[in-house]
Structure 1
Amino acid sequence: MFGGSMVALVTPMRADGEVDYDALERLIEFHVDGGTEALVIAGTTGESPTLRTEEHARLIGEAVRLSNRRIPIIAGTGSNSTQQTLELTCKVERMGVDGFLMVVPYYNKPSQEGLYRHFHTVASAVEKPVILYNVPGRTSCDLRPETVARLATLDNVVGIKEATGCMNRLADLCRECGDSLELYTGDDATALDFMLGGGIGDISVTANVAPRQMRQLCDAARAGREDEARAINERLMPLHRELFVEANPVPVKWALQQMGLIDSGIRLPLVPLDEAHHERVRYAMTHAGII
């Protein structure tokens, strides 16, 4: 249903921290031109925990309008509150999104049964496709493969963004879920090996700044052209690393500002990239051929 090079889009903000819808349009055009195959709007890279409910919904609605059906829009609607996730997901489904990305509830540390009931409750209330998102390094909670397999029995749970960076986890998901679930990575540094191992796409941070290169990488990997894919990945590897030199999305927003695509805005408790890291990120961008 979804696949290839997808981007976890930043939420562009003006210097005062307000959402910049003109910059959102620039980013969407940048990704349409660059061949990105889907946009995740208002996910955790989009600073979703800092978005007010109404602006969260408006941001998704504007992305649907500006994309004009040229690229799939996947709405990030996950949170650590089942009721909040349910209400927001139901609200934005009516806006014409193509699917949802729902992160594992963070901080609460629910049990596997709690995770199952959380996702089951929300997915059962909507019709559009749902992608689960497991990133235990950020949520302090791991959605285990056996729980994923239970959720995969729901008709509209179509995939998982697995961001552990562990190839053993890919094998476990393939064993538990078979062909019932599409497997995407959320870890750019291991995305090539993930796709060569059977995954079908990357919901990427790197693609924010290098959409064309990430599309080429994903196309080559999915087609089994390993040497070509590894050559592209070598040029991108410094970006994969340095875009996490501070907490995401701090470095990637700085990089996009250097490219003239967005303003400097980012919301507390995040602050702009420390000057000590500027040259490292700039080198990675140069190595990738972006600047």
Structure 2
Amino acid sequence: MALKGIYVPLVTPFRHGEVDYESHDRLVDYLLQYDLGGLMMFGTTGEFLALSDSEMHQLVERTLPRISDRLLLYLAVSGGSSLAVENAIRAFEKYSVDGYLVGSPYYIKPTQEGVILHYKQVAKASKRNMLIYNIPFRSAINISNETAFALSEVPNIEGIKDVCGDLEQSFELLTRRPQGFTVLAGQDPHLFSTLAYGADGGIVASAHLAPEKFIELDQVMRDGDLNRGRALWSNLQPLISALYQEPSPIGIKYALSKLKIIESPECRLPLTPITKKNAALIDSALKFSGNVRSALKS
């Protein structure tokens, strides 16, 4: 199954310190209106390190009946121990999810050979498809392109979410990748550039807001309409920039709550409430991107 299109890595709404399941349901229902590739849960945007196992399982149990095969659902699983990641995947296997987004082992800083062995081990925990998640500025290890290419030979490793932060590495990955190996952009500010170089789509946190515009951008870039793509990007880029003035998902949650899709912008510590300065930047960006505001009102 080749993954293509725009995928939204869901925020986890909180209210008064607890998971706000009603806001989560409302957010999922809102996103179901659009022709997204799918949803990803428990990634960086979902504050997975702040969630208990029980909360994660309750969220999956609420989400699957709502999407009812209308969208793909992948679960992000990360950890510093290969065994811990393997066990977490096995615990999710009772659900009919479509696959897993597996982060590189964080904090430990293994060698590239260690990364290869890590993914080979955790891939045995499920027959479902898996995506590599390369995010070195959070995990402290960069998965080299050679390592990604080696892992492409594992039958159920279908591709990579690329958040390497190095456009030269990303472009080489796209140029040299094996046939059938999916590359999804994972760094919102680099989305236009990586789509221009042939990425299959993106896992885009900013696409919580006006997802139809991100879907259109992906499609016109796939069609080779660079002028239309550039026009769309010029409208979306100020919003993306405003959303990332503070660590994700602070800005995205603020925007979603401002537009009444979720009840509260609350994050769990150590993430803090958005500053007044950055809230004003997002307000201004929402007004600039009139298509965003009109879409959210519909």
Q: TM-score range by the shorter chain?
A: over 0.9
Matched residues in 1 for 2:124 and 2:30: separation? 35
How does the TM-score come out when normalised to structure 2?
A: 0.93
Q: Is the aligned partner of 1:10 residue 2:11?
A: yes
Partner of 1:20: 20
Matched residues in 2 for 1:185 and 1:67: separation? 24
CA RMSD of aligned residues (A): 1.4
Matched residues in 1 for 2:206 and 2:48: separation? 18
Partner of 1:102: 102
Matched residues in 1 for 2:35 and 2:177: separation? 29
SS state at 2:69 partner: coil
Partner of 2:198: 198
Taking structure 1 as reference, are residues 67 and 107 closer, same or farther at Cα in structure 2, changes over 3 Å only?
A: same
Whether the 8 Å contact between 2:174 and 2:199 is mirrored in structure 1 is no
Partner of 1:276: 277
Taking structure 1 as reference, are residues 240 and 247 closer, same or farther at Cα in structure 2, changes over 3 Å only?
A: same
Matched residues in 2 for 1:238 and 1:110: separation? 37
Matched residues in 2 for 1:137 and 1:276: separation? 25
Q: Which amino acid in structure 1 is aligned with residue 272 of structure 2?
A: V
Q: Which amino acid in structure 2 is aligned with residue 27 of structure 1?
A: L
Displacement of 1:166: 2.9
Matched residues in 1 for 2:206 and 2:109: separation? 28
Q: What is the percent sequence identity of the aligned residues?
A: 30
| Number of corresponding residues | 290
Displacement of 1:3: 1.4
Note the 1:1-291 alignment, pairs <5 A: 1-14=2-15, 16-264=16-264, 265-289=266-290, 290-291=292-293
Partner of 2:296: none
Matched residues in 2 for 1:99 and 1:155: separation? 13
Matched residues in 2 for 1:192 and 1:67: separation? 28
Displacement of 1:176: 4.6
Q: Which amino acid in structure 2 is aligned with residue 239 of structure 1?
A: L
SS state at 1:216 partner: helix
SS state at 2:274 partner: coil
SS state at 1:229 partner: helix
Displacement of 1:99: 1.0
SS state at 2:33 partner: helix
Unaligned runs of 5+ in 1: none
Displacement of 1:36: 2.0
SS state at 2:109 partner: coil
Q: Which amino acid in structure 2 is aligned with residue 131 of structure 1?
A: L
Displacement of 1:122: 0.8
Q: Which amino acid in structure 2 is aligned with residue 7 of structure 1?
A: V
Unaligned runs of 5+ in 2: 294-298
Deviations 1:76-102 (A, max 9, x none): 112222222111111212201011111
Deviations 1:19-57 (A, max 9, x none): 122111111111111322210011111000111122222
52-61 vs 225-234, greater mean Cα deviation: 52-61
SS state at 1:34 partner: coil
Q: Which amino acid in structure 2 is aligned with residue 167 of structure 1?
A: L
Whether the 8 Å contact between 1:42 and 1:60 is mirrored in structure 2 is no
Q: Which amino acid in structure 1 is aligned with residue 164 of structure 2?
A: T
Whether the 8 Å contact between 2:152 and 2:178 is mirrored in structure 1 is no
Q: Which amino acid in structure 1 is aligned with residue 231 of structure 2?
A: A
Matched residues in 2 for 1:241 and 1:32: separation? 25
Taking structure 1 as reference, are residues 153 and 127 closer, same or farther at Cα in structure 2, changes over 3 Å only?
A: same
